[in-house]
Amino acid sequence: MLVKRLVVALLSTVIFSLVLAYMIYTPVSERHSNTWYDPFGAPVPTLLLITGLAYLLGGIPASLLIDKYVEKRIIKLPLYLSSGFIVGIITIISSFKTILLESLWYGIYGLVGSLIFFSIMSLFKIIN
């Protein structure tokens, strides 16, 4: 059970990091002259580290707790989303060592990350 969650977390980390890198990337057609732009792959290692730690240290334990006590999938989804929101906020606060009201907006990234995790976990359950 834990091995499956680790595989799902690693796969979710890669997918979520690539989505975030795509959001950061500026296409060549939109670039201004005499301005430095990083290539697409430049933020990926940092994003893999941050999102990977969030999934491994926050997402997997939350997933284990939710799946242990909740049976219905319709109830699991809001719990996954709310735990992802909380893990996203905790990740930003612990990464940058600051607590601001704007940190709440980063909970949305955690919410999306938990949705990716929940979707891949549901696909694995359907396949098996």
The DSSP code for 39 is -
Residue 28 has pLDDT above 80, yes or no: no
Confidence class for position 47, pLDDT limits 50, 70, 90: very high
The DSSP code for 41 is T
- Rounded CA gap, 44 and 32, in Å? 23
Per the model's pLDDT, the better-predicted residue between 32 and 21 turns out to be: 21
In the prediction, which pLDDT does 101 show? 78
- Rounded CA gap, 128 and 103, in Å? 38
- Rounded CA gap, 31 and 111, in Å? 30
Residue 92 has pLDDT above 80, yes or no: yes
- Domain count across the chain: 1
Domain that holds residue 18: 2-127
CA dihedral 104, 107, 109, 113 (to 10 degrees): 180
Mean pLDDT of the chain: 90
- Rounded CA gap, 94 and 125, in Å? 33
Residue 18 has pLDDT above 90, yes or no: yes
- Rounded CA gap, 45 and 17, in Å? 9
pTM, two decimals, is 0.88
Confidence class for position 99, pLDDT limits 50, 70, 90: confident
- Rounded CA gap, 84 and 58, in Å? 8
Confidence class for position 105, pLDDT limits 50, 70, 90: confident
In the prediction, which pLDDT does 26 show? 80
Per the model's pLDDT, the better-predicted residue between 111 and 97 turns out to be: 111
Query: At 86, which amino acid appears?
Result: I
In the prediction, which pLDDT does 30 show? 80
Short-list 86, 79, 75, 78, CA closest to 109: 86
- Rounded CA gap, 77 and 93, in Å? 24
